[in-house]
Amino acid sequence: MIIVDTKLEERQKNNNPIRVGFIGAGVMAKAILNLIERNIPGMQVVAIYNRTPEKAKQIYALAGIDKPKFVSSLRELDTAIASGTRAFTDDYKLLCESQGIDVLLDITGSVGFAAQLLLDAFKYGKNIITFNAEIDSTLGPILSVYAKKAGVIYSGSDGDQPGVTMNLYRFVKGLGLTPMLCGNVKGMQDVYRNPTTQENFAKQWGMGPEKATSFADGTKMNMEQCCVANATGMKVMKRGMMGYEFKGHIDDMTKMYDYDRIKALGGVIEFAVGAQPGPGVFVYGATEDPLNKHHLKYYKLGDGPLYSFYTPYHLCIFEVPTSIARVVDFGDYVLQPLGGPVVEVIAKAKTELKAGTMLDGPGFYTVYGECENSDVVKKEILLPIGLADNVKLNKDIPKDKEITFGDIEFDTNSLVFKLYKEQMEYFK
């Protein structure tokens, strides 16, 4: 965003950087830290939490930061930040409590841990930006309620495909058009992939095999599109979306969709496999205004009723600093649910599962995720994939069968199950 760079330059000139705290010190955190410290003015990463604190120290070193200080108390952390010393810790609550941190960045990809983290961040008045479609697709609506009550911002990030989609969605709305379809471009999808099949790919790119699996089996994309649906009010035309395979440009796909059906649903989320430009996002807009239609045709966007707009990339780490500045300096959400869940991501059996099997969550061996409209999820008592982790099946489940709450045994005292129940009751 144009105004963001000007504001950051001003902060740099005034020696008043945005003070960022990281939750997590993995591959993505390493890249974001390096980018901010070496290339972004007006911003500093002042503290990092990781369960293994040595990893935080290591990524500081890779970003050229010498002698960061390990801290174990709030006083130590605040003293370090005030003196300009970078800090790291194995106690995430210190980052939530510290007045020397302007915003937190959740880079964990977890559900259970992140749920507690977010509640603690809200409790202590911290804005938080998340690269965590896993929790946002599962509990985003109720967590947004908690954030608003606390007077803080809980937002998705630029660079992640939901954030890129929402930027494009806002652009299309700004043209005076009505966004009707928000799409995600996938290179491939095979719902039966698992950490064994994705091991070599994961090693090549320095990521965990479960992360690579969630990309390949479509679970991550479904979670991301769920986040977009809940931020726009859009629905799915069928369970799992239409998901057309198309080798051409997404500009040439507008006639493949039933406009009247899309309009009746109030807009839909979708994805395309193999289309160009990949791995980008697209938004199809519409207008009823004859003069607008005339000029859209003049500007080579065709005859409608759907007009194609796209962003040909999502640059992940490179766009995070923009989100940080938007939240801290402008109070601008990149992505947040409008209200209650419109779409959820349900768990389906990746293989034939026997009673007694422990489900292992997104990106592993037992389940994959598909989008479904929330009213159907409630009616059929379907299990969100974000809750399908470390719970036991009480019956046999055939391959590709949806899993319901009645099919599992779970801890009713689990925070994520409590929050999900609260979400269902709050948004009745």
- CATH number assigned to the domain comprising residue 29: 3.40.50.720
Q: Are residues 297 and 388 in the same domain?
A: yes
Q: Are residues 131 and 204 in the same domain?
A: no
pLDDT at residue 167 in the model: 97
The CA distance from 312 to 321, in Å, is 20
339 three-state secondary structure: coil
Q: Which residues pair with 409 in a beta bridge?
A: 392
Mean pLDDT throughout 105-131? 95
pLDDT at residue 168 in the model: 98
CB 158 within 8 A of CB 322: yes
Percent of the chain with pLDDT over 90: 96
Q: Which residues pair with 1 in a beta bridge?
A: none
94 within some domain: yes
Q: Tokens 């649903």 — which residue?
A: 265
What are phi and psi for residue 48, nearest 5 degrees? -135, 130
Model confidence pLDDT, tens digit, residues 386-406: 999 999 999 999 999 999 999
Q: Are residues 199 and 55 in the same domain?
A: no
CB 185 within 8 A of CB 271: yes
Does the structure show a pLDDT above 80 at 192?
yes
Mean pLDDT throughout 211-224? 96
pLDDT at residue 1 in the model: 65
pLDDT at residue 359 in the model: 98
Mean pLDDT throughout 325-344? 97
Q: Tokens 């007077």 — which residue?
A: 151
The CA distance from 90 to 151, in Å, is 27
> Among 330, 358, 382, where does a domain finish?
330
335 within some domain: no
Q: Phi-psi category of 96—alpha, beta or left, where left has phi over 0 and alpha has psi -120 to 50?
A: alpha
355 within some domain: yes
Q: Is the pTM for the entire model greater than 0.85?
A: yes
Q: Are residues 213 and 287 in the same domain?
A: yes
54 within some domain: yes
Q: For all residues of the chain together, what is the average pLDDT?
A: 97
The CA distance from 307 to 229, in Å, is 19
Q: Are residues 216 and 232 in the same domain?
A: yes
78 within some domain: yes
Model confidence pLDDT, tens digit, residues 65-97: 999 999 999 999 999 999 999 999 999 999 999
Q: Are residues 307 and 212 in the same domain?
A: yes
Q: Are residues 220 and 155 in the same domain?
A: no
The CA distance from 95 to 121, in Å, is 8
- Structural domain of residue 29, as residue ranges? 2-160+318-330
Q: Are residues 235 and 286 in the same domain?
A: yes
275 within some domain: yes
Q: Name residues whose C-beta falls within 8 Å of residue 404's C-beta, 6 or more positions apart in sequence.
A: 380, 381, 382, 383
pLDDT at residue 322 in the model: 97
Does the structure show a pLDDT above 80 at 347?
yes
226 within some domain: yes
191 within some domain: yes
Single-letter amino acid, residue 428:
K
Q: Are residues 202 and 144 in the same domain?
A: no
> Among 330, 363, 388, where does a domain finish?
330
Total domain count, the chain:
2
The CA distance from 299 to 296, in Å, is 5
Q: Are residues 123 and 197 in the same domain?
A: no
Q: How far is CA 268 from CA 112, 124, 233, 298, in A?
A: 29, 37, 8, 27
Residues 146-171, buried b or exposed e (16+ Cβ, 10 A)?
Answer: bbeebebbbbbbbbbbbbbbbbbbee
- Reported confidence tier of residue 40, pLDDT bands at 50, 70, 90: very high
Q: Name residues whose C-beta falls within 8 Å of residue 117's C-beta, 6 or more positions apart in sequence.
A: 23, 92, 96, 106, 108, 128
H or E segment to which residue 412 belongs:
none
- Reported confidence tier of residue 109, pLDDT bands at 50, 70, 90: confident
Q: Are residues 305 and 220 in the same domain?
A: yes
Mean pLDDT throughout 262-290? 97
Q: Are residues 124 and 185 in the same domain?
A: no
The CA distance from 260 to 84, in Å, is 59
